[in-house]
Chain A
Amino acid sequence: KNEVEQSPQNLTAQEGEFITINCSYSVGISALHWLQQHPGGGIVSLFMLSSGKKKHGRLIATINIQEKHSSLHITASHPRDSAVYICAVREETSGSRLTFGEGTQLTVNP
């Protein structure tokens, strides 16, 4: 079993829909990251969370430390949101190193 599990693996939505991507982990963490990888391959960091909730534009990330679960929400989705979304955790014992989920492929159709 992977230490970081994402669901769903693939998600197709219509433009305007509210989207949720989930991430569960099995280890103690000091932080959780959400990353975005566009079809061209580039990876950018969206959020770093250690508790609560963060919002940036139409993106919202939440984390529940007790339940070892995080969600990434996209409101009013747009075709340009189509990308792979990756959850990664920084384990309490691993210093700066991250452990990654396999990613969720999101496709938003116009």
Chain B
Amino acid sequence: IAGITQAPTSQILAAGRRMTLRCTQDMRHNAMYWYRQDLGLGLRLIHYSNTAGTTGKGEVPDGYSVSRANTDDFPLTLASAVPSQTSVYFCASSDLTGKSNEQFFGPGTRLTVL
């Protein structure tokens, strides 16, 4: 693994189904983030975690949950998917101890909820 990876790359899901998007980083970054990107709205923060064991709500958290059991993994779960959750999802990470706080992004997951 180099950097930050996401799985799956894309997924078509029936409404009402449960889905977990996976995100893994190997940079030992303490902070991780989940965003959704929608046309005309830009990137919006869903949930974040500043360190393993803690999570926080972003701008659009409803319908999503996250966990941060360890430094490397930050899965995003849709408990009961709805069509409005059709979007491209990006995971990112950053090193809060560094000066730049540059965020590194995963390649994205394209999710379609029918």
Binding site for B on A (CB under 8 A): 31, 33, 41-45, 48, 86, 88, 90, 95-98, 100-103
Contact = CB atoms under 8 A, between A and B. Distances in A.
Interface in B68-109: 88, 90, 92, 94, 96, 100-105, 107-108
B40 interface: yes
B102 A45 contact: yes
A97 B48 CA distance: 8
Contacts of A95: 50
A96 B95 CA distance: 9
21 contacts: A33-B102, A33-B103, A41-B88, A41-B108, A42-B107, A43-B105, A44-B105, A45-B102, A45-B104, A48-B100, A48-B102, A86-B42, A86-B43, A88-B43, A96-B31, A96-B50, A96-B94, A96-B96, A97-B45, A100-B44, A102-B41
A41 B102 CA distance: 18
Q: By DSSP majority rule, is chain B's interface helix, strand, loop, or mixed?
A: strand
A45 B50 CA distance: 19
B43 A100 contact: yes
Contact of A97 (B33, B102, B104): B33
Contacts of B50: 95-96
B58 interface: yes
B62 to A, nearest CB: 17
Given A96-B31, A96-B48, A96-B96, A101 B104 contact: no
A102 B41 CA distance: 6
A33 B43 CA distance: 13
A41 B14 CA distance: 24
A48 B42 contact: no
**Top 5 A-B residue pairs of the complex, sorted by shortest distance between their CB atoms:** A43-B105, A102-B42, A100-B43, A100-B42, A45-B102
A98 to B, nearest CB: 7
A72 to B, nearest CB: 16
Contacts of B92: 43
Contacts of B103: 33, 45, 98
A97 B34 CA distance: 11
Given A43-B90, A97-B58, A100-B43, 17 more contacts: A31-B101, A33-B102, A33-B103, A41-B107, A42-B107, A42-B108, A45-B104, A48-B101, A86-B42, A86-B43, A90-B101, A96-B31, A97-B45, A100-B42, A100-B44, A102-B41, A103-B42
